[in-house]
Chains A and B, each alone.
Chain A
Amino acid sequence: MPIAEELAKRQKEISIAEFFERNRQILGFDNPHKAMITSVKEAVDNALDACEEAGILPEIIVKIENVRGGEYRITIEDNGPGIVKSQIPNVFARLLYGSRFHTLKQSRGQQGIGISAVVLYSQMTTGKPAVVTSKIGEGFPAHKYSLMIDTKKNLPRIIDEEMLHWDKKSGTKIEFFIKGKYVKNRKQSVYEYIRNTAIVNPHARIIFVEPDGTENVFERATETMPPQPKEIKPHPYGIELGRLMAMMKETKARKITSFLSTEFSSISSSKAKEIVSISGIDGNKAPIDIEIDEAKRLIETFKKVKFVSPPTDCLSPIGENLIRRGLRKETSSLSPEFIATDKRPPNVFSGTPFMVETGIVYGGNLPKEERVEILRFANKVPLLYQEGACVITEAIKNIDWRRYGLEQKGGRGIPYGPAIILVHVASVNIPFTSESKEAIAHIEEIEKEIRLSLQQCGRKLKAHISKKSKRAKAESKFLLITKLLPDMARKVAEILGKPVPSIDEVITQIMNIIWIEDEVRKGSGESEIKINVTNYTSRKQKFSLYAEISSKDVFVEATPSPAEIGEKYVKWDIDKIEPSENMEIKFKVREEMDDVELYIKGINPVYVIGAEKWEGD
Chain B
Amino acid sequence: MVKEDLKRIAEKIYDDLSNSRIPSIRLPARTKSNIIFDERYRVWKYGEQKITRSAVSLSGAYMLLRTIYTLDFILEMIENRKTSTLRELYYISEGWGDAKFHSQDESDKLAEDLEILTKKLREDLKLRPEEDGASVIGDIVIEETTRKGEKRRIHCQDDVGDSGYSIPYNVEKDKIKFIETNANKVIAIETGGMFDRLVENEFDEKSNSILIHIKGQPARSTRRFIKRLNEELNLPVIVFTDGDPWSYRIFASIAYGAIKTAHISEYLATPSAEFLGVTPSDILSYELPSDDLTTEDINALKSELSDPRFQDEFWKNEINLQLEIKKKAEQQALAKYGLDYVTDVYLPEKMAEMGYEV
Contacts and interface: CB of A to CB of B under 8 A. Distances in A.
Interface in A416-467: none
Contact of A492 (B10, B20, B58): B10
A484 B65 contact: yes
A186 interface: no
Interface string B1-30: 000000100110110111011110000000
Interface stretch (A219-227, A270-278, A287-295, A472-480): A472-480
Contacts of B323: none
B68 interface: yes
B55 interface: yes
A477 B68 CA distance: 20
Nearest to B13: A492
Contacts of A495: 7, 10, 68, 71-72, 75
Interface stretch (A86-94, A502-510, A608-616): A502-510
A163 interface: no
Nearest to B72: A495
B98 interface: yes
A488 B13 CA distance: 9
B62 interface: yes
A480 B55 CA distance: 8
Contacts of B64: 488
A152 interface: no
A489 interface: yes
A480 B62 CA distance: 8
Interface in A98-143: none
A493 interface: yes
Contact residues of B: prevailing secondary structure:
helix
B61 A485 contact: yes
B20 A505 contact: yes
B99 interface: yes
Nearest to A503: B17
A498 interface: yes
A579 to B, nearest CB: 12
Contacts of A506: 16-17, 20-23, 55
B20 A509 contact: yes
A308 interface: no
Contacts, number: 72
Given A488-B61, A492-B68, A510 B55 contact: yes
B61 A484 contact: yes
Contacts of A496: 7, 10-11, 14
Interface in B80-101: 97-99
A489 B64 CA distance: 11
Query: Contact size class for B?
Result: 20 to 34
B75 to A, nearest CB: 7
B315 interface: no
Contact of B22 (A476, A479, A498, A509): A509
B101 to A, nearest CB: 15
Interface centre among B21, B55, B64, B98 (most CB of A within 10 A): B55
Nearest to B60: A480
B267 interface: no
Contacts of B68: 488, 491-492, 495
A501 B14 contact: yes
- Kindly name the residue among B10, B21, B99 whose own CB sees the greatest number of chain A CB atoms within 10 A: B10
A519 interface: no
Nearest to A505: B20
B21 A480 contact: no
Contact of A488 (B20, B21, B55, B71): B55
Contacts of A476: 58
A233 to B, nearest CB: 67
Given A491-B72, A495-B72, A501-B17, A477 B10 contact: no
A483 interface: yes
A487 interface: yes
Interface of B: 7, 10-11, 13-14, 16-18, 20-23, 55-56, 58, 61-62, 64-65, 68-69, 71-72, 75, 97-99
Given A488-B17, A493-B14, A501-B14, 14 more contacts: A477-B58, A484-B62, A485-B55, A487-B99, A488-B23, A491-B68, A491-B72, A492-B68, A501-B18, A502-B17, A506-B55, A509-B22, A510-B22, A510-B55
30 contacts: A476-B58, A477-B58, A480-B61, A484-B61, A484-B62, A484-B65, A485-B17, A485-B61, A487-B99, A488-B13, A488-B17, A488-B55, A488-B65, A488-B68, A492-B10, A493-B14, A494-B72, A495-B68, A495-B75, A496-B11, A501-B18, A502-B18, A505-B20, A506-B17, A506-B20, A506-B21, A506-B22, A506-B23, A506-B55, A510-B56
Interface of A: 476-477, 479-480, 483-485, 487-489, 491-496, 498, 501-503, 505-506, 509-510
Q: Which 10 A-B pairs have the closest CB atoms?
A: A505-B20, A501-B18, A501-B17, A484-B61, A492-B14, A495-B10, A492-B10, A476-B58, A480-B61, A491-B68
